[in-house]
Every structure is written in structure tokens, then in C-alpha cells.
Structure 1
Amino acid sequence: MMNRPFYWAIAAVVAVATLVFFVAVSLEPAAQKMLMREHGPIEALSAFGYLLCVAVMAKAGGSDYVKKYWYFSVVLVSFAAREMDFDKAFTNVGVLKSKFFFSPDVSIMGKLVSAVILGFILFALITIVRRHSKAFIAKVFSFRWDPVIWSIGFAGTFLVVSKSLDGLGRKLRGWGIADISPEVDKVASLVEESMELAVPYLFIIAVLAYLRSQRTA
């Protein structure tokens, strides 16, 4: 019974993401472009959601929680930075592209700083996997799914699918599989952006549900 608000919250976030997609599909091309453009309202709300999740962790969990689970904050802030295109903000070559480290247009210092930052983020991701993946997988296969499992499950699925759909036409052409129409590529992009919008808010639900379960344990 006490988990019901979290289940409703998960359903609401998924419903809002679905609604955003259908609204975007129904818009005129100019309005679609405005809504889904780089640094547009959807990306801004996604970035805000990740930062809000960090703030919720600090407020609801306290300083001890943030210190204990510092790696979550690191990854969430990096996701927010990615949504705001910080990886491309200071150079013509995106930091997340392999050619960044071989480009003559990027200084040695720039490469070193970027390598340290990316290494720290990678270390945080590895720490998450090492500390939590075993318990998470065990819960999944126990089939006793609480709001934490549901929210992280949806968020993880949305992340994987959205990243797969990002630049779908370009990826398929690169793999020599197929050449899709611009309309299909546009729909794939709208699905991607709608899913990415939901992810940080699902993480917020996971944080709140986890803290609630710890207090009532």
C-alpha cells in the first residue's frame, strides 16, 4: 500500500513521455524543430531533471547519503552535462568521439583534462556496477519488483532504446543495412527525445522509493 504513490508516479512519467511524443508528432515541422532542437525545451527539461535528482538525493538523503553514494551524483551530473552538450562546448570535436584524442585541433592540456574527467566518470560507473549490479539482478530474477526496480528498469530500457535510435538513419547507412526515409528517421528522433525526457524523473522516483524503504525497514 505504501508503494502505491511510487507506482502511480512511474506511470505518470511514462504517460507524460508518451504524450510528449504524440504531441510532437502532431506538430508542424517548424514547431517540431523548435521543441526538439539542441538546447531546446525537451533537452533543457532532461538536463534539469538530472540536476534535480542530485538535489533530491542531497535533500532527502542528507550529506551522509550523498557521501556514501557519491558515484550516483557524478554520473547524474555527467548525464546533465551531456544533455547540455558540454562535450562539444569547448571544442569543434566532441569529447565523446574517439577522434577527439587524435585531433590536432585539440591541445595536449585539453586532451589530458578531458581524459581525467572521462576517467573519473568511468570509475563512477564501474563502482555502481560493482556495488549494486549483483543485488539488482538478484531482485529482478526474484520477480518481487518494488518501485525501485520498476523505475530503474524503465529508465535503463529508455536509455538503451533512445541511444539506439539516436541518429538511426546515419547508423544504418554506416552499417550498410538499410537507408530509411527522413520521415522514419524523424519519428525515431522524436521517440528518442521523449524517452530521454523521462529518464531523470524515473531516477528521482527510484531515489525517493529507496529512501522510503530504508526508513521503514
Structure 2
Amino acid sequence: MARPFSLTAREDAETSGLLRSFFLYALIIVLAVFVDALFFAQDASLKREGGGLETISAVLYLVGVGLFFKTVPRAFWSSLWQVPALLLLFAMREMDLDKAFTSSGVLSTGLYRGESSLGTKLIAGAVVVFVLVVLYRMMRNGLPSVIRALRAGKAWSYLVCAAAVAVVFTKSIDGLGRKLLPFGIEISAGLDTAASTIEEVGEAFIPVFIILAILARWRGRNA
């Protein structure tokens, strides 16, 4: 009779640990924005390229990569390499590396229709293929695992879903005013700015959910 009680106690401890970690990372995000506003922004937008929000998002994705290799047993690396690869791609996207070396982003069709060199197009195309492979492996290998874990009530699967919802939500409100114009809907500049702010802050929490999912799934486990 002691076994169920011990399991419940462990689950309670894990939940408390995850909540503490969530608030810790939330505090880190707030501090990053505060330091940026105090020392670096100089009256510029906190949502600017290379600002505090973008920087802390990139850093948190890299933390997720490091945490993966620290907590996930080496035996699983070959089957789960797409997880740190996706986190690294997100970090590079936050640092705008997707368009740092080309006239437009590697995912932009304009790059391949334009006058870029053949070498640039081949390298960019290879990056796109790699992204597609990562996404395919996430869907083929990751989605069934998440569904099974959801049915079993595993905390990590809910955190993965939270990250996915945050991705969809933030992308849907990015440039909200511009997206609504074709439907004849015009929103105020203030509302558009508010949506942009929510989008940037929401993006900063995506890696937090992923970090917590990794912790919930692998910390203290060997399988």
C-alpha cells in the first residue's frame, strides 16, 4: 500500500519542482527585459531585432540544447537528435541567422528566384532540406510519443503541447494588423503594438516550456 503513496509523493515533488523552475525562468525573462530597458534600449523598442527579448529567447533555446545532452541518456541521442536540432534552429532563427548571410531568409522563395549565386542557393536549399528532415522526424517519432503520454497523463506531454500552442498563437498574432487588412478589418496602432508585444513575450516562453518538458521527461530517469 506504500507504493501508490510514494508515487503520488514523487509526482507532487516533480510538479512543485517544475513550477519553481517555471517561475525561475519567468524571472530570468523579466530581468533580461529590465536590464535591456535600463542599459541598452536607449528609448528604442524592447521588441527590436537583437533586443533583450530576442536575446533571452535564443539563450533559452541553447540552454535547452545543453540540458538535452545533460539529462537524456546517451543511448537515446541517436533516436532523439531532432529535438536539440530543432532547438538549435529556433535559436538561430531568434538570432536572425536565417537571413544573416543571404539577401533574404533561407525559407523565402525570393532567395531562389533572385540573383543569388548558385552556391548560396545550394547551401540555403540544404538548410531547408535539413529543416524538413527535422520536422518530419518530430512528427513521425515525436507525435505518437506525445499522444501516448497525454493518454497516460504525463506532465511532459502537456508541456510539449503548451510549447506547440505558444508557437501557433505567437505566429498567428505576429503582424496582426497586416494579416487582418485583407479581410477588411483595421485595428488601431495601439492594439497592433499590444499584439506584437504579446507575441514577443510569448515567444520567450516557448523554450521555457520545452526546457520544462525535458526536465519532466528525463531528469532522474535512465529510460
Same fold per superposition (TM over 0.5): yes
Instruction: State the partner residue of 1:115.
Output: 125
1:190-209 correspondence to structure 2 within 5 Å = 190-209=197-216
| Aligned residue in 2 for 1:182 | 189
Alignment of 1:153-168 (within 5 A): 153-168=161-176
SS in 1 for 2:185: coil
Q: Please state how far the C-alpha of 1:101 moved relative to its aligned partner.
A: 1.2
- After superposition, the C-alpha distances for 1:160-217 in whole angstroms (9 at most, x for unaligned) are 10011111112222x33412111111000111011110111211111111113744x7
Q: Give the paired residue count.
A: 206
**In the alignment, which residue of structure 1 is the partner of 2:37?**
none
TM-score (norm 1): 0.83
User: Match for 2:69: what amino acid?
Assistant: A
Question: What corresponds to 2:54 in structure 1?
Answer: 43
Given the two structures, how large is their TM-score scaled by the length of structure 2? 0.81
SS in 2 for 1:136: helix
Shift of 1:146: 2.5
- Which blocks of at least 5 consecutive residues in structure 2 are unaligned? 1-11, 35-40
Shift of 1:62: 4.7
Structure 1 residue runs of 5 or longer lacking an equivalent are: 24-29
Displacement of 1:60 after TM fit?
1.9
Q: For the pair shown, which has the larger CA radius of gyration, 1 or 2?
A: 2
Partner of residue 94 from structure 2, selected from 66, 80, 83: 83
1:153–1:109 Cα change, 3 Å: same
Q: Distance in 2 between matches of 1:145 and 1:9?
A: 20
Amino acid at match of 1:135: S
The one-letter code matched in structure 1 to 2:84 is S
1:135 to 145, 148, 153: 145
- In structure 2, relative to structure 1, the CA distance for the partners of 1:12 and 1:45 (3 Å cut) is same
C-alpha separation in 1, matches of 2:164 and 2:99: 24
**How many percent of aligned residue pairs carry the same amino acid?**
31
Report the equivalent of 1:102.
Answer: 113
Which is bigger in relative contact order (C-alpha 8 A, separation at least 6)? Answer: 1
State the superposition RMSD in angstroms: 2.7
CA contact (8 A) 1:10 1:151 kept: no
